[in-house]
Structure 1
Amino acid sequence: MTAPPPRLRIVLAEDSPLLRAGLESVLTSAGHEVSAAVGDAAGLVHAYAAYAPDLVITDVRMPPNGTDDGLRAAAELRGRDPNLGIVVLSQYVSVAYLDDLLGADSTEGGVGYLLKERVGHVRQFLDTVSRVAAGETIVDPEVVRALVKSSRHRTPLADLTAREREVLALVAEGAATLIYLRSLGQSPAR
């Protein structure tokens, strides 16, 4: 029997009160401590300073500007603490500031970037939270595709060989889902 994942101290930032309450309920039901649940980027930065969480979960678009304030706040926190685990949730793909999250020298803190519409299962979401807290990087395949498309002008993806880009594109097209399903002992639907 496998041991349950460790209890995490989490700061949650989501501007939609209903989604914020739902995420908080899911996380606490799984045994995690949600130290703070805030609705804007400034609140996220303040809560991080007040609670020193193991993990931050944030939306990309948040007040005060309603643009990428949550992602910028996450990048700022990652700059302060490269070992902080961060899960970014978004309704759309944004690669801005992603280099700051993915490029930090980290020994422990992972990064997750998930599209809200594709997080359809509580178990999958909680697995991602645990894996990111353990130092893994989990990026939605749609985000990987956007990174590959923009890699002609960006680093470090700009340095990939044609074959490396091809493999990355395969991961973005679902190979990661197949690997994930196999890790859960499930077969993909045909």
Structure 2
Amino acid sequence: MTTRPRRTTYRHGNLKSEALAIAYRLVADAGHEALSMRQVADAVGVAHRSLYNHFEDREALLDAVATEAYERLAAILAETQTSDDYVAQYVRFALAHRTIYGLMVSRPHGTMKNSPSLQAAVHKVITEAMRIFCGDIEAPSERRRAVMKIYILLYGGISLYGAGILDLPSETALIAELSAMSAKM
């Protein structure tokens, strides 16, 4: 990776936005495990300490990248009209953006209260699942259970397929299997 030359002026412009865009790209390219604040700062062309004015730490930067990814996924899912379409769009997103999806599912739910924007973005995705899969379910506990079943099915299927464990010839076959399973829930 090439780095930008260091800036000669103090003002950067929208450092937070640019750092987030670069971090998103770096995670997409190589995964979130190796991402560092210094790596992002070098790519932006600022001292790594400058990023701490916008992101408390590496985890906050990763939360911001995950937030962006959940927002993108929610926008895609908002266009779906059927459970089959929801499953297809979700799976296509996860497989087309494997390292980003890996980051998304790595964010611990219990700590999301510390990141309201991430929590809101995740809830947008959940709201879309409720719209598609919970139309006739009244009880909140049953709605929650229905959404959990769908996400367990999707996450499990995507994980097993990605690891080469499922004997399916293509993404299309995976989508068909998961759609058939979701219809029986």
What's the TM-score, normalizing by structure 1? 0.29
Task: Answer 1 or 2: higher relative contact order, Cα 8 Å, separation at least 6.
Answer: 2
Structure having the larger proportion of residues in strand: 1
Greater radius of gyration (CA): 2
Higher helix share: 2
